[in-house]
Amino acid sequence: MVEQELAAPEAGTEEQAARPRQNFYQRHESFLLGGSAVVITLAVWQAFWSAGKISPLFFSGPSAIAARFWDSLLHGQLLSDLEYSGANYAIGLVLAIFTGIVLGVIVGWYRRVEMILGPFLTALYATPRLAMMPLIIIWFGIEMKSKVFIVFLSAVFPVLINTIGGIRAIDRDLLRAARAFCASDWQIFTTLAIPGSVPYILTGIRQGVSLGLIGVVVGEMFGGSKGIGYIVNYGGQTFATDTVFMGVLIIAFAGIALTAVTERLERHFSRWRPER
């Protein structure tokens, strides 16, 4: 009798293996369609640009942007600008993740702490943190410290709020089972609250990663004379549309790469979840 029931999962895997093999196109359909769309868009754009139909005052072309990129990379300050922005971003983000998780665990676990800090967190969370940039410049000046701080301030809230939610969301059935096995509060904290909140924390980090990116770009637009945000801002003020596009594309690629890394991280930590 047991065998019948246990045999079920194996039957499932056999079925999967028996599925007809897909050809090259079927296996890579999403990548091929998306890739072609990008290539065609670029080609059409370049064609209009080469034909002189696009005014460089308002827009730019792929070849001009690429040329600007090479030039800035080889002869300009681009590398040191990237380094500067990258450092601002990395320091701010790491501080935000660390603070967000530690504070979130404390606030989530102790109800009274949540009651006390609640109003402040809600108010700060609801405020667009970028609106505080002028104030941050008054506090920290226009150098690195203020950029790091705005990245921190942008990224810390999603991590914090999600961590609090994760610690709170202990499954009632699991809690009852743990209690029945004489679990202490500390055991419930370490075996249920912490592991249970990992997916929430990762969601918070993913949001923090993209909000932090906005933070570093906008932060560098306010004052200072370095960084990718500064390049975009300066390019705009001098009608150097190719420079603006170069900056925007660099930021876009950074965003895509960072999202891919965090998604990879999320997958790694949720192996136990049912496959969707």
Partner 1 sequence: MVKLAIEHLTKRYWRGAREVLALSDVCLSVEDGEFLAIVGPSGCGKTTMLNIVAGLLPYEQGVVSIDGQCVQGPGIDRAVVFQHSSLLPWRTIAGNVRYGMELQKRFNKERMLERTEYFIKLVGLAGFERHYPSELSGGMQQRVNLARALAADPKVLLMDEPFAALDAQTREFMQAELLKIWAQAQKTVMFITHQINEAIYLADRVVVMSARPGRVKDVFRIPFGRPRTLHLKRDPQFLEIEDAIWQLVEEKPERIGMVV
Single-letter amino acid code for the residue at 152? F
Interaction pattern, residues 5-24, with partner 1; x per rule: CB under 8 A: xx-xx---------------
Give the torsion sign (CA, 146, 147, 151, 154).
positive
Instruction: Decide: is 271 part of the binding site for partner 1 (CB under 8 A).
Output: yes
Instruction: Decide: is 183 part of the binding site for partner 1 (CB under 8 A).
Output: yes
Q: Kindly state the smallest distance separating residue 167's Cβ from partner 1, in Å.
A: 15
As a whole number of angstroms, the distance between CA 240 and CA 251 comes to 17
Specify the stretch interacting with partner 1 by CB under 8 A; choose among 21-29, 98-106, 182-190, 215-223.
182-190
List Cβ neighbours of 209 (8 Å cut-off, separation of 6 or more): 93, 155, 258, 259, 262
Q: Which of residues 191-230 bind partner 1 (CB under 8 A)?
A: 191-192, 195-196, 198
As a whole number of angstroms, the distance between CA 124 and CA 159 comes to 14
Instruction: Decide: is 274 part of the binding site for partner 1 (CB under 8 A).
Output: yes
As a whole number of angstroms, the distance between CA 124 and CA 87 comes to 25
Cβ–Cβ under 8 Å, residues 78 and 137: no
Choice between 66 and 178, CB closer to partner 1: 178
Single-letter amino acid code for the residue at 204? G
User: Binding residue for partner 1 (CB under 8 A) from 1, 51, 131, 138?
Assistant: 1
- Positions touching partner 1 (CB under 8 A) are 1-2, 4-6, 8-9, 171, 173-174, 176-183, 187, 191-192, 195-196, 198, 271-274
